[in-house]
Amino acid sequence: MPPSDYSKADPDLVDTVFDTVSRLDQNVYRGSTWTTDAPFRETESVIVRHREAGILAVEMEAAALYAFAQAREKTVICFAHVTNQMAQDTGDFEKGENDGTSYALAVIAAVIQSWALKFSS
């Protein structure tokens, strides 16, 4: 893929997945993330700029996954389990029950089940 400031998920896929996960009894958000290739150590001004642009989180995979999906015409969705706010609050790295595994697996299981029903017809 040519260089770009953004890498995008398939909008129909995102709609389908979000419709499914928004019914779960968990906090689920939909929005843009900022992909970086190293553990996040950025300046306050860059954080502010991304926040003002509506960026919800920093992660390390989504842009590459979505560029791959587009280049290879594959179906790819990235789930980000955000577990902290850059160590700004007490208990910031608390991930929940079983270090968040239960929540993450519930989201993935719901999407798989929905996807299977959608395409089994």
pLDDT tier at 120, thresholds 50, 70, 90 = confident
Render pLDDT for 45-92 as a digit per residue (tens, 0 to 9).
888 888 899 988 888 888 899 999 999 999 899 888 776 665 566 665
Render pLDDT for 102-115 as a digit per residue (tens, 0 to 9).
888 888 999 999 88
pLDDT at position 57, please?
A: 83
Using a 10 angstrom Cβ sphere, with 0-12 exposed, 13-18 middle and 19 or more buried, the burial of residue 54 is exposed
Contacts by residues 38-45 (CB-CB < 8 Å, ≥ 24 positions apart):
40/86
As given in the structure block, the two tokens for residue 100 are 């968040």
pLDDT at position 7, please?
A: 87
As given in the structure block, the two tokens for residue 31 are 């929005």
pLDDT at position 91, please?
A: 62
Domain ranges of the chain: 11-119
pLDDT at position 71, please?
A: 94
pLDDT at position 73, please?
A: 94
